[in-house]
Structure 1
Amino acid sequence: MLPSKIQGQSPVKKRSIGRILGWVCAIGAACAASGMLLFTFLFAIVYAQLPDMTEMRSYSPKLPLKIWSSDNQLLAEYGEERRDYVPIDELPKHVKLAILAAEDSDFYEHSGVDLSGIGRALISNILSGHKGQGGSTITMQVARNCFLSSEKSYMRKLYEIAIATKLEHELTKDQILEIYVNQIYLGQRAYGFGSAARTYFGRPLKELSIGEAATLAGLPVAPSAYNPVVNNRRATMRRNYVLGRMAALGFISEQKRQEEQAKPVYVQDAVADAVAGKRSLKIHAEYATELARQLVYDIFKDDAYTRGLNVYLTINSKDQQAAYSAVRSNIASFDKVRGYRGAEGQIRLPASLDEQAKTIKQALHAAASSPNLLPAIVLSTSPSIRAAISNGETVTLDRASNAFAGKFLKAKPDDPTGLRPGALIRVTRTSGGWTLSQIPQVQTGFMAADFRTGAIRALVGGFDYDLNMFNHVTQAWRQPGSSFKPFIYSASLEKGFTPNTILQDSPFYLDAKKNGGQAWSPKNYSGKFEGPMPLHRALEKSQNIPVIRVMNAIGPKYAQEFLARFGFPASRHSPTLSTALGSGTVTIWQMVEAYSIFANGGYRVQPYLIDKIVDESGRTIMTEENREAGDESIRAIPARNAFVMSTLLNDVARRGTAARAGAALGRPDVGAKTGTSNDSNDAWFAGFAGNQVAVGWMGYDQLRSLGSKATGGVLMQPIWISYMQTAVRGQPIYNRMPPGGVEQRAGEWCYSEVSDGTHAESSTPVSSGDDPVSSLLKLF
């Protein structure tokens, strides 16, 4: 029935209205036809201009530089786009179904363009007044991501349709989907689903659950809005939508949908891991990977970041993590004993809870992160310290935190280090809850290598790379203190000394005329003199005066030349008596190389970090060919010298300053030496066990004392022990067989032709060996 007003109209009026409606319909049809003709005309022009798409059959995206451990653990990747390429035949079925459900369920049926979807999007855009929806299929998204900009315009949409049509003609559906899976941006610098799986969940794509696959499938529509790291609530809603679509399409059962929707969306996150008490699985090798990145860039320049190079290091992930953990825990303990230094900064907390949450979020985001040293903002301090560690996540610190904070809880309002609401602090998760902590000021370096081949097994260049990128293994030149004495004793063996030679530990004085205008009267660390003692005993107790007397006897100039055999440049070790006490400067890298010579029979094996480089197709394009122990072309010292010195270092680990290490490892092949520089500015521990040599150092970047009684034996020995207990566990004992020209006397190995108790100088000049200023890093 028509409305009553129309019913009452005359036939003439009815005919007039009919004609008007007819004209409107005719005009509409004409406009539609004209629009279709215009669209067809423009489409034909655009389509004719399109390039050949067949090259997309061999799709080759930008692939980042990836760095792997020797046991195939991913350590780092560098490049603007993180991407793990996933061939279509390796795409897990449940991931594929999640993508289709979320983005384009008719992908395998349509011809690349969903006209009804485009129509709905067009009507929505006209009604809303802005270009929001696009109605894109997977093929159209490939067209947009590979060939077009992100501009939103009707002309760009026309190009998108044209390219999609051509792609459908020249590529198979699987080829198109493979490009999509590897090209699409999914947030957090992750391009493609393979990279996103590792970025968000820390696992390869094939190990993801259906719910996790749905989470990733929900990201392309708006990676920033549905990013589970940024907005877990919205990510959960989007995941549930995708799961619902999968169930509606029959891809999963209703029961599976309910099971997956009931699970929380859990992604890799430092705060979330700490709250859950979960240990991070990340292998911390930042200093090693950065060093490798620099070396690879020197060869390949900018292509290193786009051509999919895979760089395999000599680093062993188990050994690397052992070194990292030992360094972190011992430095944290050292720092805590020295007291709390106060808050890192202050922010003003707004009265409004919403504004307060926003301010806290910004402050925490700006604070540098460090594993298990989470930044936090103090909310209250009584009766216990309560702090926010993320937006909406607060913790209450243990009672020990109040005692540790001490005077800073009562600081004046204008004191920037005071603990009050708004203070920026660090907190650590312990077995008993949460406790107040701080970022240590002291620094360290640690490196271990196979002394037979030079392959580096672990490298820690500092407490935390994100806080201090200076690599203390390769860049820090520090005084080695007593850890340098073995090299002077090694030189003395070639001048007629033996382990049984009696040395005088009595006051030594050098007048100003013989010491460059300044008198010198060195002391032992203990401040006491012990009288006559054999050379081996002087090394075990690390007495200063005996080694100075040895240096004086063999001649500082000769010693300087002999040191070059170990790789120590003459420019950093002057021909003076104080060099015997480690007054020159060395790097940890050099010390590893030098101690390897004692351990491997006298060969100067160069440490190296990169084992091989493989291109994107799996072809090895570079490999390391290092000269190893046994190659006489790299002999540094006589075999019998290395053997005698290794036995002397064994003695130090049995009954000397390194006896704690020998006892802890319980192996006869342990040899080591402690080292402490003047005023305890540097603490060292160097030695070998099994087939590894390891050297560690601790000190402040800005030169100052580590404290009274802060020696290498106290500070670095525990780190060295902790590392070696993991590194050499299960390894066979490394037996060093005595070479020709040595014999045992009074329990010590000596040169056969040299009489005990003498130290006559040899009349034969000693060659300085290899060029002392050798290349620091030898790779290929």
Structure 2
Amino acid sequence: MSFLRYLSRLSLLGILALTWLLAGVFLFLSPGLPDVQTLRDVKLQTPMQVYTRDGDLIGQFGEQKRTPMLFADIPPQFIQALLAAEDDGFFRHSGVDIAGLMRAVSELVLTGAKGSGGSTLTMQVARNYFLSLERTFMRKFNEILLAIQIERELSKEEIFELYFNRVFLGHRAYGFEAAAQVYYGKSITELSLAQHAMLAGIPKAPSRSNPITGPQPGKERRNWILGRMLDLGYIDQQAWAQASAAPVSASHHGARLSFAAHYAAEMARQQMLDRYGMAAYTDGYQVHTTISSELQQLAQQTVIAGLATYDRRHGYRGPERQLPPEAETTATAQRELWQAAVAETPVVAGMEPAIVTRIRETAVDILLRDGSDAVLEWENGLRQASPYLSENAMGRAPQAPSDVVDEGDLIRIQANADGSWQLTQVPAAQAALVSLNPDNGAIVSIVGGMGFENSKFNRATQARRQPGSSFKPFVYSAALDAGFTAASIINDAPVVLEDNTLEDIWRPENDGGQFHGPTRLRWALTKSRNLVSIRLLQQLGVKRLISYIDGLGFDTSEYPNDLSLALGTQVMTPLELATAYAILANGGFAVQPFLIERVDDVEGETVYQATPATVCRGCNETPATDAGEDELRMEDILAGTATTIPAERVMEERVNFIINSILQDVVKRGTGRRALTLGRDDLAGKTGTTNGPMDAWFSGYNRDVVTTAWVGFDNYTPLGRREFGGTAALPIWIDYMREALAESPDMERPLPPGVVHVRIDPVTGLLASPGQSNAIFEYFREELVPVQGGPDDRPGAGGKTTDDLIKDIF
């Protein structure tokens, strides 16, 4: 009895000492503990997501992949799996599992090594949000005290939600919803029991036991969790057996994009980085762009198809790599080498890499990326693969597959509709397309090249190329503004110029080297006559042109101060040219291209709303205001009191109408007449081809859509002597606009006040005589209607020269 009394007193003293110790620790540590209430306002690092205007996800950016989810949305089966793995008493304890802690201490004392740890989910929340990962007793005490405070101030559901969304799960995935996307490409709500258990097992060793890095350890952990779920009554024997036998099905998945639009997404990323800095990657912004899902996919398809068509006209350039079989290598080893080579070669624009493994009489056997074998038939591209010799010549057509490929060649193939394979190649040429809403500059589609996988260089916004004749409409607009008319006569004749700003003597020519004599400006632009354009600029004056186009929004700081401007020798990007054509399309108003329509924060609140300068159709023209910002006060926008910024008129309305009518003639009668295949009367545009030819352009529009297409080589290799804007770029534009204009009504522009439509002599450009049989109609500003002429007013008659006629007119 004395011993028992002694033992009781000793135990009591021990309990009192432990109590005093814990109280002392609490008093010592509690002042330094963080405020648990901050957990309610915690800001999880969430990646930025970029959407089209239709709500399709086209980009996700951020180091940490995270997709927060509310407790109510988490599948109950996964909750059970996680509780079985980490803390089955979570909904019963008050933040600390005493039995679990004692078990962890006993394991440490008996084995000298850390065992189960004894941490509850609440303690892990405290550690993940507030503490470091250092293994010290002081950190453990802080963890316990914080867990108790967290349980007092937050509900169990809130605590579980915090753990679910924060824990690191390997491969830059934070939170279980993000991990489900990374490992399975699905939402956690779509996963099976086996997959739930696999994810629940990752927190114990996220870098080693995730199902990609460590499939076997991950499977062992998964099956242990399934056994725990069976013991706890969460699942029955049949469910346990099926899930335990399930194979590991994980593989790495990127963001679940609705479709790829990498150039547009990258533009949005850069603009967000400029606006918000590194917070753009972590604050969960949702970026809503002006991109149309349908038109963006169409633009990508037409660019790829247009380049492939151009490429086929110039011949087959051969394999991308040659890996001929080695004599001393076994067949198995050789196949492994080939498989590794084809696996590391990226797919470009749907063009799959493959290795030629055997050549037969009318076909070749090929090895695909997935390790399977296939057959490439003679008729599927091999027979048509005449060899490329130069941009202007191809070799003899092949007579057998061996004339085209050798064993070990790494080639490109595409799937046909019937499942067979077609020989192809990644075009060496590049292209860009940008399409805008001319009323406000919204970018509805943009493609910067053949494939983002192959080149991240965005040619639509970064490639500064000579526009060639695509620039002529602005030279002619400046002339019309200065008093010339569409009927003004300029001599299409040879010109030799000596200019200090030009190298040596300049002898420009028309395409084809022909000269056509006195020519009306309308016909000269319709047929893209170079010599008329140069003589026109000579009379207009280079300084006057630069001043005019500077007012249209062109950056003229580096423009050459010489007559070569008439032929578009300055450089600009396709986006800059499309923006200028928007002025022609919208009636003469300046708009600025923009991509980001709206930005929402992680809570769904709008933090940025674009308010671009906009053309108001059907209303009185409003003078431009000083409020030229692209962003108004957020409270005004959200309150609905923000007003649209009116676009500034930069081109006189009547000049715009007349130049538009000339550009419609370019489509109907000139270099853009291939576009007649669209069967519309409201199309206008201009081709452009530079010396070489190095660049091929077509920029065109109707009242609702303006689009610029460009084709060329990055290294300025010539496209080929038979390639022009009308053959290389215009087909891309046509295929895109066929669908882009499907919902746009074919409407004639109304005649603006002050424009008259009168009959003229097509030779002199003067008013036609009464009853003149060959008279044609022309538009004039009413104060510039020409006088009536006679036979002696014709060029070359009565001693009058072309310059005399021009002086008479003006």
Q: 1:549 to 1:186 in 2, by over 3 A?
A: same
Question: 2-side partners of 1:251 and 1:205: how far apart?
Answer: 18
Question: 2-side partners of 1:157 and 1:425: how far apart?
Answer: 60
Q: 1:398 aligns with which of 347, 371, 376?
A: 376
Question: 2-side partners of 1:161 and 1:651: how far apart?
Answer: 81
Residue 734 of structure 1, CA deviation:
5.1
Q: 1:649 aligns with which of 659, 663, 667?
A: 663
Report if aligned partners of 1:567, 1:590 keep a CA contact under 8 Å in 2: no
For the pair 1:722 / 2:728, whether they are aligned, the reply is no
Q: 1:109 to 1:428 in 2, by over 3 A?
A: farther
Residue 694 of structure 1, CA deviation:
1.3
> 3-state SS of the aligned residue for 2:687?
strand
2:653 counterpart residue number: 639
Report if aligned partners of 1:672, 1:687 keep a CA contact under 8 Å in 2: yes
2:394 counterpart residue number: none
2:436 counterpart residue number: 449
Report if aligned partners of 1:613, 1:621 keep a CA contact under 8 Å in 2: yes
Instruction: Extract unaligned runs of 5+ from structure 1.
Output: 1-26, 274-279, 409-417, 765-780
Report if aligned partners of 1:595, 1:687 keep a CA contact under 8 Å in 2: yes
> 3-state SS of the aligned residue for 1:559?
helix
Q: 1:76 to 1:243 in 2, by over 3 A?
A: farther
2:675 counterpart residue number: 661
Question: 2-side partners of 1:114 and 1:375: how far apart?
Answer: 57
Report if aligned partners of 2:349, 2:450 keep a CA contact under 8 Å in 1: no
Residue 368 of structure 1, CA deviation:
5.6
Which has the higher mean CA deviation after the structures are superposed, 331-340 or 696-705? 331-340
For the pair 1:171 / 2:154, whether they are aligned, the reply is yes
Over the aligned positions, Cα root-mean-square deviation in angstroms equals 4.6
Question: 1-side partners of 2:332 and 2:117: how far apart?
Answer: 35
AA in 1 matched with 2:165 = N
Deviations 1:702-751 (A, max 9, x none): 22212232222222223223332333332334553221111234354332
Which has the higher mean CA deviation after the structures are superposed, 615-624 or 126-135? 126-135
Report if aligned partners of 1:451, 1:600 keep a CA contact under 8 Å in 2: yes
Report if aligned partners of 1:131, 1:152 keep a CA contact under 8 Å in 2: no
For the pair 1:110 / 2:89, whether they are aligned, the reply is no
For the pair 1:705 / 2:683, whether they are aligned, the reply is no
AA in 1 matched with 2:540 = I
Q: 1:521 aligns with which of 482, 502, 507?
A: 507
1:13 counterpart residue number: none
Q: 1:477 aligns with which of 461, 464, 486?
A: 464
- Same amino acid, percent of matched pairs: 35
Report if aligned partners of 1:447, 1:589 keep a CA contact under 8 Å in 2: yes
For the pair 1:574 / 2:551, whether they are aligned, the reply is no
Question: 2-side partners of 1:222 and 1:357: how far apart?
Answer: 36
Deviations 1:368-409 (A, max 9, x none): 664534566x4844554543625xx3443524577799999x
Report if aligned partners of 1:654, 1:663 keep a CA contact under 8 Å in 2: no
Q: 1:298 to 1:259 in 2, by over 3 A?
A: same
Question: 1-side partners of 2:307 and 2:744: how far apart?
Answer: 28
AA in 1 matched with 2:668 = R
Which has the higher mean CA deviation after the structures are superposed, 585-594 or 752-761? 752-761
Question: 1-side partners of 2:20 and 2:387: how far apart?
Answer: 79
AA in 1 matched with 2:41 = S
For the pair 1:535 / 2:549, whether they are aligned, the reply is no
Matches within 5 A, 1:548-587: 548-587=534-573
Question: 1-side partners of 2:244 and 2:502: how far apart?
Answer: 80
1:21 counterpart residue number: none
Report if aligned partners of 2:351, 2:414 keep a CA contact under 8 Å in 1: yes
> 3-state SS of the aligned residue for 1:329?
helix
> 3-state SS of the aligned residue for 2:66?
coil
Residue 610 of structure 1, CA deviation:
2.1
Residue 178 of structure 1, CA deviation:
0.9
Matches within 5 A, 1:322-361: 322-335=298-311, 337-344=314-321
Deviations 1:270-321 (A, max 9, x none): 89x9xxxxxx954333333333333333333233333333332222222222
Matches within 5 A, 1:376-455: 378=355, 380-382=357-359, 384-387=364-367, 389=369, 393-396=371-374, 398-399=376-377, 428-431=414-417, 432-434=419-421, 438-455=425-442
AA in 2 matched with 1:372 = G
Report if aligned partners of 2:366, 2:376 keep a CA contact under 8 Å in 1: no
Q: 1:738 aligns with which of 748, 751, 761?
A: 751
Report if aligned partners of 1:63, 1:82 keep a CA contact under 8 Å in 2: yes
Q: 1:591 aligns with which of 577, 582, 592?
A: 577
Report if aligned partners of 2:413, 2:421 keep a CA contact under 8 Å in 1: yes
2:43 counterpart residue number: 60
Q: 1:252 to 1:610 in 2, by over 3 A?
A: same
Residue 71 of structure 1, CA deviation:
2.5
1:192 counterpart residue number: 175
Residue 489 of structure 1, CA deviation:
1.7
Deviations 1:45-69 (A, max 9, x none): 3795251423223332223333332
Q: 1:677 to 1:194 in 2, by over 3 A?
A: same
Report if aligned partners of 1:495, 1:760 keep a CA contact under 8 Å in 2: no
Residue 763 of structure 1, CA deviation:
12
Q: 1:717 to 1:268 in 2, by over 3 A?
A: farther
Residue 183 of structure 1, CA deviation:
0.5
> 3-state SS of the aligned residue for 1:680?
coil
Question: 2-side partners of 1:662 and 1:246: how far apart?
Answer: 70
Question: 2-side partners of 1:128 and 1:668: how far apart?
Answer: 88
Q: 1:49 aligns with which of 10, 26, 29?
A: 29
Report if aligned partners of 1:182, 1:192 keep a CA contact under 8 Å in 2: yes
1:319 counterpart residue number: 295
Q: How many residues align?
A: 715
Q: 1:471 to 1:517 in 2, by over 3 A?
A: closer
Residue 491 of structure 1, CA deviation:
1.7
Question: 2-side partners of 1:321 and 1:582: how far apart?
Answer: 31
Q: 1:37 to 1:738 in 2, by over 3 A?
A: farther
Q: 1:607 to 1:185 in 2, by over 3 A?
A: same
Report if aligned partners of 1:689, 1:724 keep a CA contact under 8 Å in 2: no
Deviations 1:220-263 (A, max 9, x none): 34444565566778877877776776677565677777888898
> 3-state SS of the aligned residue for 2:65?
coil
Instruction: Extract unaligned runs of 5+ from structure 2.
Output: 1-6, 389-404, 617-621, 625-647, 759-775, 790-801
Matches within 5 A, 1:3-152: 41=21, 45=25, 49=29, 51-52=33-34, 53-114=36-97, 131=114, 134=117, 136-150=119-133
For the pair 1:372 / 2:385, whether they are aligned, the reply is no
Q: 1:720 to 1:97 in 2, by over 3 A?
A: farther
Which has the higher mean CA deviation after the structures are superposed, 643-652 or 612-621? 612-621
Which has the higher mean CA deviation after the structures are superposed, 367-376 or 577-586? 367-376
Residue 530 of structure 1, CA deviation:
4.5
AA in 2 matched with 1:639 = E
Question: 2-side partners of 1:762 and 1:236: how far apart?
Answer: 93
Deviations 1:569-599 (A, max 9, x none): 3334324332111111111221121100111
Residue 112 of structure 1, CA deviation:
3.6
1:289 counterpart residue number: 265
Residue 446 of structure 1, CA deviation:
2.0
Deviations 1:42-97 (A, max 9, x none): 79737952514232233322233333322233332333212222232343445544
Question: 2-side partners of 1:237 and 1:341: how far apart?
Answer: 49
Q: 1:396 to 1:45 in 2, by over 3 A?
A: farther
1:777 counterpart residue number: none
Q: 1:495 to 1:321 in 2, by over 3 A?
A: same
Question: 1-side partners of 2:335 and 2:109: how far apart?
Answer: 38
Matches within 5 A, 1:211-250: 213=196, 216-225=199-208, 227=210
Deviations 1:416-450 (A, max 9, x none): xx9765x7665555543455655443333221111
Q: 1:493 to 1:304 in 2, by over 3 A?
A: same
